[in-house]
Amino acid sequence: MENKKVFKFVKASAILLAGLLFAGAASAQTKVAVVNIQAAIMSTEKATSKINALKTSSEYSQLQNGAESIRAEMQKLAEDAQKNGVTWSEEKKAEQQRKINFKRSDFETTVKKLRAMEGQAVQELQKELLPKAKTALEEVIKEQKLDLVLDASAAVYAGKSANLTEELVKRLNAGK
């Protein structure tokens, strides 16, 4: 009988101790936040200015105008083939399709050049601003005494107060 009383006492003590530990852990809340560093960098005044400068540059504008021109030519060739194709010989149809394919290839090449220019500008921005963003983020983490900061893309939900991206943009714009 005495063993049963000791076992019940130990069991009750363990349950009480577990409850106290859980209550203590619950009261010491973990402070968690999210951030999208890439979005913060691309939302800065510097990034906006650099992207606008790229898109208004003569080389970029020429490529963009060239892409639009090629697209219009492809559309005209396709419309002509659709409208008049029934009366064309097989050779004429094949020639028209070859012209469309050449134009499509030219269009794709031009678009690749545009994307490459944009990608290069983004890489330059990342290279320049990423160290500053990391430093600014470390300051925010210390100031807000955060325990955990996740990439925003990993979060299912984060309230506005838990998202550090806007604060990071402000600090990068201010040059902190």
| pLDDT above 80: residue 23 | no
Distances (CA, A) of 112 to 6, 54, 117: 78, 15, 9
> For the chain, how many structural domains are there in total?
2
The per-residue pLDDT for 30 is 86
The residue written with tokens 């902190």 in the block is: 176
Domain containing 127 equals 31-174
CB of 125 closer than 8 Å to CB of 42: yes
Q: What confidence tens digit (pLDDT) does each residue in 33-77 have?
A: 999 999 999 999 999 999 999 999 999 999 999 999 999 999 999
Amino acid (1-letter code) at residue 164: L
Quote the tokens at residue 174.
């201010």
The pTM (predicted TM-score) of the whole model is 0.71
DSSP 9-63: HHHHHHHHHHHHHHHHHHHSPPPEEEE-HHHHHHTSHHHHHHHHHHHTSHHHHHH
- CA gap 54, 121 in Å, rounded: 8
Mean pLDDT of the residues in the chain: 88
Q: Are residues 37 and 11 in the same domain?
A: no
Q: What confidence tens digit (pLDDT) does each residue in 129-159 have?
A: 999 999 999 999 999 999 999 999 988 888 8
Q: Are residues 112 and 90 in the same domain?
A: yes
Q: Are residues 24 and 42 in the same domain?
A: no
CATH assignment at residue 57 = 3.30.910
